[in-house]
């Protein structure tokens, strides 16, 4: 983003002067149009503030004895200049609310799919087991033994289904809360990857559901990143309740990375995903990492 040009400054100063000396709706309209021009040129609200301020200083310098009255008379002009930014601001707020709603909808759908996988598919598998037992009874021994290998495969299918269902949306997150769900996640990750994962936090505490969901997803994403890129042997996840916010840090002892270059590599996509999840809750992510020194992600979410 480049700053406002001196030509634009001159336009502001001139328009304010017209407003102060002649008044009238035409001058107010040109103030509005100037603000809109600034917005269209992708300049920011601080640029308008600067342009307005400079114009006001010039106007006061021209009337050293009437500065207070000059500032008072500029009120309508200032509002007009900023009104297009008010529209843009409202648009962002609206988009944010929509994004939050979309996230909740996605989470709800994931929850439904996860429960259906677990319940419906689980039920079907149970009936298949019963049917197999039934068939086995009527078969001679060698054929029954071959059926046993089918059952072993089915066990694997059942295990996969359960894992998939839990990873989509662990029921434990709804039933027992974030800490229990993180413990469960850590066990799964350790078993799969050999990473040593330690979870610390207030075991008896529950957070608002949207915060628990987002933190769970972030830790899940972070652990996936560690498993894929960090070459770490241990990860510590700490959840902390602070006055009016929740903090969570995920620290590993891996090879680290240069946060400046992560944006352009595939490793950055996980971080972008984490940031996106934080936007609707007004949360923030900071990264402490350097080549050879491990990585620490720190997440804070306000609103407790």
The number of helices, as runs of H, and strands, as runs of E, in the chain is 12, 5
Report the residue count for the chain: 304
> Residue 236: beta bridge partners?
198, 251
Which CB atom, from 97 or from 265, has the smaller least distance to other proteins?
Answer: 97
C-alpha to C-alpha distance for 292 and 289, rounded to whole angstroms:
9
Residue ranges of alpha helices (H) inside 117-208 are: 122-138, 141-168, 171-175, 178-193
Which CB atom, from 6 or from 72, has the smaller least distance to other proteins?
Answer: 72
Which CB atom, from 84 or from 249, has the smaller least distance to other proteins?
Answer: 84
Q: State in angstroms the smallest separation of the CB of 21 from other proteins.
A: 17
By DSSP bridging, strand 196-200 and strand 234-242 are parallel
Q: State in angstroms the smallest separation of the CB of 19 from other proteins.
A: 13
Q: State in angstroms the smallest separation of the CB of 238 from other proteins.
A: 40
Which CB atom, from 39 or from 246, has the smaller least distance to other proteins?
Answer: 39
Residue 274: Cβ within 10 Å count: 22
Which CB atom, from 72 or from 149, has the smaller least distance to other proteins?
Answer: 72
Q: State in angstroms the smallest separation of the CB of 129 from other proteins.
A: 52
Angle formed by the axes of helices 25-40 and 75-116, nearest 10°: 40
Q: State in angstroms the smallest separation of the CB of 76 from other proteins.
A: 7
Residue 249 and residue 238 in contact, taking contact as beta carbons nearer than 8 Å:
yes
Which CB atom, from 83 or from 132, has the smaller least distance to other proteins?
Answer: 83
Q: State in angstroms the smallest separation of the CB of 12 from other proteins.
A: 17
Which CB atom, from 4 or from 294, has the smaller least distance to other proteins?
Answer: 4
Residue written as tokens 């996969």?
A: 160
Residue written as tokens 């709804």?
A: 174
Sign of torsion, CA 206 114 302 266? positive
DSSP 22-46: H-SHHHHHHHHHHHHHHHHTT--HH
Q: State in angstroms the smallest separation of the CB of 170 from other proteins.
A: 37
Could you give the C-alpha distances from 272 to 26, 65, 66, 93, 218, in angstroms and in order?
46, 54, 52, 20, 11
Footprint of other proteins (CB under 8 A): 24-26, 28-29, 32, 36, 39-40, 75-76, 79-80, 83-84, 86-88, 90-91, 94
Which CB atom, from 26 or from 57, has the smaller least distance to other proteins?
Answer: 26
């Amino acid at each position: 983003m480049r700053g406002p040009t001196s030509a634009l400054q001159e336009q502001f100063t001139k328009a304010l002067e017209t407003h102060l000396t002649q008044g009238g709706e035409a001058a107010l309209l040109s103030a509005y149009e100037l603000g809109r021009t600034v917005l269209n040129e992708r300049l920011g609200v601080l640029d308008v503030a600067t342009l307005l301020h400079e114009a006001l200083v010039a106007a006061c310098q021209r009337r050293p004895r009437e500065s207070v009255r000059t500032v008072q008379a500029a009120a309508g002009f200032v509002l007009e200049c900023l009104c297009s930014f008010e529209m843009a601001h409202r648009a962002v707020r609206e988009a944010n609310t929509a994004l939050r709603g979309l996230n909740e909808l996605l989470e709800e759908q994931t929850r439904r799919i996860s429960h259906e996988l677990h319940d419906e598919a689980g039920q079907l598998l149970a009936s298949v087991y019963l049917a197999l037992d039934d068939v086995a009874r009527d078969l001679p021994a060698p054929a029954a033994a071959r059926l046993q290998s089918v059952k072993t495969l089915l066990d694997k299918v059942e295990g996969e289904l359960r894992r998939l269902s839990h990873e989509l949306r662990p029921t434990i997150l709804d039933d027992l809360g974030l800490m229990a769900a993180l413990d469960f996640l850590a066990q799964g990750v350790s078993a799969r990857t050999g990473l040593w994962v330690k979870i610390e936090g207030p075991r008896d505490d529950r957070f608002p559901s949207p915060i628990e969901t987002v933190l769970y997803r972030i830790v899940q994403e972070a652990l996936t990143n560690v498993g894929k890129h960090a070459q770490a042997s241990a990860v510590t996840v700490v959840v902390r309740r602070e006055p009016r916010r929740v903090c969570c840090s995920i620290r590993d002892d891996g090879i680290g990375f240069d946060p400046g270059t992560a944006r352009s590599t595939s490793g950055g996509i996980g971080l972008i995903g984490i940031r996106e999840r934080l936007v609707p809750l007004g949360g923030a992510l900071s990264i402490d990492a350097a080549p050879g020194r491990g990585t620490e992600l720190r997440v804070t979410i306000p609103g407790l």
